[in-house]
Amino acid sequence: MWMIGPLGFGAPWLLLGLLALPVLWLLLRAVPPAPVRRRFPGVALLLGLTDEDQQADRTPWWLLLLRMAAIAAAIIGFAGPVLNPVVQAPADGPLLIVEDGGWASARDWPRRVERITDALDEAGRAGRPAALVLLSDPPPVPPVFAPAEDMAAALPGITPRPWAPPVPADPAAILPEGRFDTLWLSDGLAHPARADLLAALSARGNLRVWEPGTPVLALRPARIEDGGLHVTVLAATAPGAPPATTIEVAAIGLDPNGIERDLARAPATIGPEGLGAAVFDLPPELRNRIARFEIAGQRSAGAVALTDDAVKRRKVALVAGGAAREGLELLSPTHYLRQALAPSADLLEGGLADVLLAAPDVIILADIADLADLPEADRLAEWVEEGGLLVRFAGPRLAAAQSGADPLLPVRLRAGGRSIGGTMSWGEPRRLGPFPEGSPFAGLDLPADVTVRAQVMAEPAPELAERTIAALEDGTPLVTRAAFGDGSVVLFHVTANAEWSSLPLSGLFVRMLERLAISARATPPEAGDLAGVTWVPARLIDAFGRLQDAAEAPGVDGAALAAALAGAGPGADLPPGLYAAEGRAVALNVIGPDQVLARASWPASVPVEGAVTPQQTPLKGALLLASLVLLLADILASLALSGRLRGPRAGIAAALALALILPATGAEAQMTAAPSDAPRMDEARAIAAAGNVVLAHVITGDAETDRIAAAGLAGLSQVLTRRTTVEPSAPMAVDPETDDLALFTFLYWPITADQPAPSPMAYARLNRYLRGGGMILFDTRDADIAGFGAATDAGRRLQALAAPLDIPPLEPIPPDHVLTRTFYLLQDFPGRHAGTSIWVEAAPPDAEQAEGMPFRNLNDGVTPVVIGGNDWAAAWATDARGMALFPVGRGQAGERQREIAYRFGVNLVMHVLTGNYKSDQVHVPDLLERLGQ
Amino acid sequence: MSLAPDSAAALDLRRQAEGAAQALPPLLVAAEHLAAAVQMGGHGRRRAGAGEDFWQYRPAHPGDEARFVDWRRSARSDQQYVRDREWQLAQSVHLWVDAAASMRFSGGGDRPEKGARARLLALALAVLMIRAGERVGLTGPLAPPRPGRAQLMHLAGLLSSPAAAGDYGAPEVAAVMPRSRVVFLSDFLGDPAPVAAALGALADRGVSGVMLQVLDPVEEDFPFDGRTIFESMGGSLRHETRQAGDLRARYLARLAERRDRLAQLAGQAGWQFSTHHTGAPAQGALLWLHGALGRGR
């Protein structure tokens, strides 16, 4: 290949043909255009006339230039020019394809597959064996080279993994034996193992890297800050590429109907350091519905951030017994609860009756006894059975009460309780015993300084042990729990303030509330929070960011989950997703809360290809096309020059020239016009249609039918002007595709058998027109050969055309229809045919005979369609002088029929314009009566 | 058909004749159709005489026969009146339709040839004349003027016969009867001298008439450009130009000059002259012809 700058030529010796151009110039210049021979009788008058212009016959210079350019373009085109040709050194030996295959590869996976396919095809043509290594899922044994065709066949089964490529212990262990060339498809992110692998690969042979230039975007998990949800967007852009500026983040969850949709969207502006934040300020009801955040338009697991309990805020109602004592804030039974819950839950305080109305998730009763005596007891029990969590704290009142009557306690209490370690008792204050296995508190650290001085005691019972979820070291229950219906009741056997124990003063109190799913977690869960429980994946994310049900996925150990959350990130045995245990949910996202994205950097010795490298563009086709176009232009120019371009030929030539010039601009115009759905109606026409009543007919595409329709409406307009106060302007032809139908009150639609159906958009517009009070008169024009129905082509066509229209039930026009008396009193409605009846909207079935009137009480509603086949337009049609265009009937009877047809038209227009005004005649007796008084 | 040879000698001749005769009915029908547009009566002489139509009542003179007195009119007054009829006289009309090659020209696909239009006009005029009781014939010796519908068939046959040789035609006036009327239909693009001579000869015989120049719109506009070789229809004349567009003004000037000369010739001989374009409907030209024949009387 021979190169000039970025241009290469496949057959450069053909360019020598350019040398012949000057010779051609001289030749062409000497040959003038051939004369036209024309037969013309007037030649007798021409004899003896001489040309004024005596210059020698020569081809004009611009025509010569045109031809030269055409020939030059053809010569250069055949020389095979290629812009930015890819000059590749032939390679042999096996080819190893290394694909990162992590979540960041998912965003452009089809392009990667395409690149791998290209590489495999190339290797297949060269007979090179190939192997593929997916770094995110490294093979246990080094791959072996196989024929490239087999590799290509297995390619569709390979998908990216929703985690970052792990760090292999020994990069060389996953590489095949021997020397090979490598194509590394990088996802563009820096990676700890990259340098080692790079060195290992470079040692084995040539290495090429393919890396897309598009930025990698990812979301950190959402967190709550200052009452708002903050979602951090990470972006790693290529060094040369401009940084992505604003990115939209969508919050997705179930709406109240259970349908997943965008609940909110917020923009995030990416700063120069590659970080941006989207802030969602949502009401709690909406916020608790959010299941995940996504970067709009990104398909990758990194662009999805699942939410868990961390962003859920529960509605917690605090109800304390007795009036709060002024000034003794620290002794208030709810003070510590408020302190513990305020950062992570929405608190309600007030009387039990008030808070029940607010439908809280949790109700905490601090030392309230005798629930059975409260008037709200039944509603409270109902609320618990429907799934509420009732948490009760003991206290002096509860201890004094007769608990046998209290239904909402997990255990029966002994009256009086016990006091340990006080001045009047023996023994030390008791410490907490270890949480039993299976308790929601299992795994929590036991602080040494938590002691209990007094508590209420449970009556021994068989179920006491299983209901105890926390106990003192001597085994007496501290927290008991029992299920009531769908909900449960939890009793702390101590007070909610520090009077009976130091539990509310410790951090353990907050953790316990958290474990009871009362408060949301404000900080990332720690190992201790998760350990000891098997977490079952509820939903898993695949690499493309799609959520999938994890039906068969095994449960994972809490410790491993904690490690992954702490920063190790998800992996093959711990895929990202939502893990659930005991009513709590933990989201393991691809991106950790502190993760940053860094762009991969490559040593200069490694060739990096990607989207930014210029594409190889063969120019041969374009040049040959240009040559052809120039030759066509030359034909037109020659014809014009020799005077042959006359008459219809000139029109065709102009159309050709336009067709050559216009495609680009036309396509552009279409691009700009396409998004706008609005009808493109000529402004002058729109003003004319809106300025006065205008009868309009729908264009059928059949010129004769359209002409008759226009003439018919013109005739009807004349009659209306002469006889009524309706003075319509000249009728218009309406194309529902482009015209704004809202400007018309009445459409006449003749049906032809081969009429094209309007587009869906036009149907939408027609339906809007019908709903908005417009009327369409369908005319199948076949009444002399068929009744209304499917018997004729036009009838069948009408059925097909009208099917998508919102047409109400129809009936043959009843004799008392308002159309029979809107202006003239009519019994039948002939057009050119005096045939069948016409169909209008059916009257409501409950219409009653009006008293004293020959018609039913049919108020309200103008029929949106009138369907018939009497060819009214032909009966109405007049020419410019007002003469009827078509004969109707015979003699005087025919003229009478034409007159009735006109009267039908007048009635119809009156019906359109005045609606059911004449139906109001049912009220005439009442009006007369009133007048009489 | 009147043209069908009664001898069956040559099958070939007969086929040709039938082919020619097939053109007759359409031409005749077209001509009748065209003529139907003109409502006409007899060629009234605008003076009292022998005829069918009422002309005037005049007081009876001595010498008027009693049977001529119109008693109904006379009864309304004391005088006797005689009912005069308009003098109607059958007239001989000679038609000359240029059949030369130049008349075969048509400048556009949607327009008839000039010759076709001229033949149609001539035959339509003949229909009108025959219907009015006139005698119609050709200027040549083949068809002396005769009345009656049989003459129409004869005329149609002659008009449809193959064109004469030569690029431009000249009228043949030897057989024109004195004091008759003559209609010339031609493009008059050839040498005007024969036309002038014919007009002179006819004027000597007391013959007046009408000249209608039938032209194609192309001949009127000269919409040509570029390097062109113009040839006459027969090919006998040719003219080459490098810039046909430059010739337009001069061509139009010559055409106007030719028309002036023809109008002048016609005026001197007491004839009427007009121009008809094949792009326009034939009715206008027929009305003009009919009126012009009436006017010249």
Q: Does B15 touch chain A (CB under 8 A)?
A: no
Query: What count of residues does chain B have?
Result: 297
Write down the pLDDT at residue A647.
62
B136 close to B176: Cβ distance less than 8 angstroms: no
Q: Is B275 on the interface with A (CB under 8 A)?
A: no
Mean pLDDT confidence for A147-152: 83
Q: Do B246 and A52 touch (CB under 8 A)?
A: yes
Using DSSP's 3-state secondary structure scheme, residue A74 falls into helix
What residues contact residue A883 under an 8 Å CB cut-off, 6+ apart?
none
Confidence of residue B163 (pLDDT cuts 50, 70, 90): low
Count of residues making up chain A: 933
Token code pair at residue B263: 């109008």
Name which of A230-234, A549-553, A759-763, B276-280 the model is least confident about: A549-553
Instruction: Give A644's contacts in chain B (Cβ within 8 Å).
Output: 226
Give the chain A residue whose CA is nearest to the CA of B168: A41
| Range of A235-244, A771-780, B128-137, B253-262 with top mean pLDDT | B253-262
How far apart are the CA of B266 and the nearest CA of chain A, in angstroms?
Answer: 20
Interatomic CA distance for residues A417 and A411, integer angstroms: 13
pLDDT per residue over A827-836, tens digit each? 888 888 887 7
- Look at B247 and A647 and tell me if their CB atoms are within 8 Å: no
Between chains, do A46 and B223 touch, taking CB under 8 Å as contact?
Answer: no
Question: Are B209 and B297 a contacting pair, CB within 8 Å?
Answer: no
Nearest-Cα distance to chain A for B201, in Å, is: 25
CA distance A63 to chain B (A): 15
Beta bridge partners of A698: A734
Instruction: Tokens 């265009």: give the residue.
Output: A885
ipTM computed for the complex: 0.74
A220 vs A526, residue with greater confidence: A220
- Shortest CA distance from B222: residue in chain A: A42
Lowest model confidence (mean pLDDT) among A13-17, A164-168, A491-495: A164-168
Has residue A894 got a pLDDT over 60?
A: yes
- Report the DSSP beta bridge partners of residue A225: A228
User: Side chain identity at A883, as an amino acid letter?
Assistant: M
Q: How far is it, in rounded angstroms, from Cα B136 to Cα B124?
A: 11
- The alpha carbon of residue B237 is apart from the nearest alpha carbon of chain A, in Å, by 7
Interface contact flag, A49 B241, Cβ < 8 Å = yes
Q: State the CB neighbour count (10 A cutoff) for residue B55.
A: 18
Residue A858 has pLDDT above 70, yes or no: no
pLDDT at A670 over 50: no
Q: What is the mean pLDDT of chain A?
A: 80
Range of weakest confidence among A802-806, B23-27, B240-244: B23-27
Cα–Cα distance measured from residue A878 to residue B194, given in angstroms and rounded to the nearest whole number: 54
Contact call for B229 and A44, based on CB within 8 A: no
Average pLDDT for B152-163: 80
Show Cβ contacts of residue A571 under 8 Å, excluding neighbours closer than 6 positions. A163, A166, A564
Residue A306's pLDDT is 85
Express the helix, strand and coil content of chain B in percent, nearest 5 each: 40, 20, 40
Residue pLDDT, tens place only, B127-145: 888 877 788 888 888 888 8
Distance CA A742, CA A770 (A): 10
pLDDT value for A904: 92
For A104-148, write each residue's pLDDT tens digit.
888 888 888 888 888 888 888 888 888 888 888 887 778 888 888
Would you state the structure tokens that stand for residue A255, as one six-digit string? Answer: 């709406």
How far apart are alpha carbons A179 and A660 in whole angstroms? 56
**Nearest partner of A776 among A832, A727, A838, A723, judged by Cα:** A838
**Best of B230, B252, B260 to mutate (most A CBs within 10 Å, chain A):** B230
Q: Which of A36, A45, A63, A649 to mutate to test the interface with B (most CBs of B within 10 A)?
A: A45
Q: Specify the DSSP class assigned to residue A108.
A: G
Query: Distance (Å) from the C-alpha of residue A21 to the closest C-alpha of chain B?
Result: 27
Q: Best mutation site among B104, B232, B233 for testing chain A: the one with the most A CBs within 10 Å?
A: B232
Facing A39 at nearest CB: one of B227, B231, B245: B231
How far B246 CA lies from chain A's nearest CA (Å)? 7
- CB contact at 8 A, B10 and B102: no
Q: Considering only CA atoms, which of A202, A147, A205 is closest in space to residue A181?
A: A205
Query: B230 at the A interface (CB within 8 A)?
Result: yes
Does the pLDDT value for residue A96 go beyond 60? yes
What is the pLDDT averaged over residues A67-90? 80
Model confidence pLDDT, tens digit, residues A378-423? 888 888 888 788 888 888 778 777 656 677 888 888 877 777 766 6
Regarding pTM above 0.80, the answer is: no
Half-sphere exposure (Cβ direction) of A246: Cα atoms closer than 13 Å: 4
The answer to whether the CB atoms of B227 and A36 lie below 8 A apart is: yes
> Cβ of B106 under 8 Å from any chain A Cβ?
no
Q: Is the pLDDT of residue A903 over 90?
A: yes
Q: A862: closest CA among A822, A805, A803? A: A822
Please name the member of B228, B247, B250 whose beta carbon is closest to the beta carbon of A35: B228
The predicted-structure confidence for B77-104, as pLDDT tens digits, reads as follows 888 888 887 666 667 889 998 888 888 8
A520 φ, ψ to 5°? -80, 155
The residue among A350, A394, A385, A610 whose CA lies nearest residue A492 is A394
Instruction: Tell whether B288 is within 8 A of chain A (Cβ).
Output: no
B11: distance to nearest CA of chain A, Å?
36
Residue of B nearest to A56 (CA): B242
* Cβ separation B239–A646 shorter than 8 A: no
CA within 13 Å, CB half, A812: 10
How many A-B residue pairs are in contact by the CB < 8 A criterion? 108
Strands A275-280 and A228-236 come out as: antiparallel
Residues B232/B102, Cβ–Cβ less than 8 Å:
yes
Which whole number is the average pLDDT over A480-492? 86
Cα separation, A622 vs A634, whole angstroms: 18
Q: For A815-868, where are the E strands, in sequence order?
A: 839-841, 865-868
CB-CB neighbors (< 8 A) of A31 in chain B:
none
Judging contacts by C-beta atoms under 8 Å, the chain B residues touching residue A653 are none
Mean pLDDT within A714-728:
91
Region A82-107: mean pLDDT is 77
How far is the C-alpha of A776 from the C-alpha of A196, rounded, in Å? 78
Residues of chain A with pLDDT > 70, as a percent, come to: 86
Asked if B232 and A40 come within 8 Å (Cβ–Cβ), the reply is yes
Beta strands in chain B (DSSP E): 44-48, 54-59, 81-88, 92-97, 135-138, 181-186, 208-215, 228-231, 238-241, 272-277
Q: Residue A536: is its pLDDT beyond 60? A: yes
Neighbours of B161 (CB within 10 A): 13
Within an 8 Å CB–CB cutoff, is residue B256 touching chain A?
no
What is the pLDDT, as a whole number, of residue B253? 92
The model's pLDDT over B164-192, given as tens digits with 9 standing for 90+, comes to 668 888 888 888 888 888 999 998 988 88
Instruction: Answer yes or no: is pLDDT of B38 > 70.
Output: no
B87 contact A CB<8A: no
Q: Which residues of chain B lie closer than 8 angstroms to A53, CB-CB? A: 242-243, 246
> pLDDT at position A519, please?
56
Nearest CA in chain A to B187: A41
Q: Which residues of B touch A643 (CB under 8 A)?
A: 224-228, 244-245
What was the pLDDT predicted at A671? 41
CB nearest to B238's CB, from A36, A43, A644: A43
Does B260 have pLDDT greater than 90?
yes
Per-residue pLDDT, B4: 42
**Contacts with B218 from chain A: Cβ below 8 Å:** 40
Taking any CB pair shorter than 8 Å as contact, residues of chain A touching chain B are 32-47, 49, 51-53, 57, 641-644, 646-647
CB contact under 8 A, B250 and A49: yes
Chain B residue numbers with beta carbons less than 8 Å from the beta carbon of A34 are 227
- Measured CA to CA, the distance from residue A354 to residue A292 in angstroms comes to 33
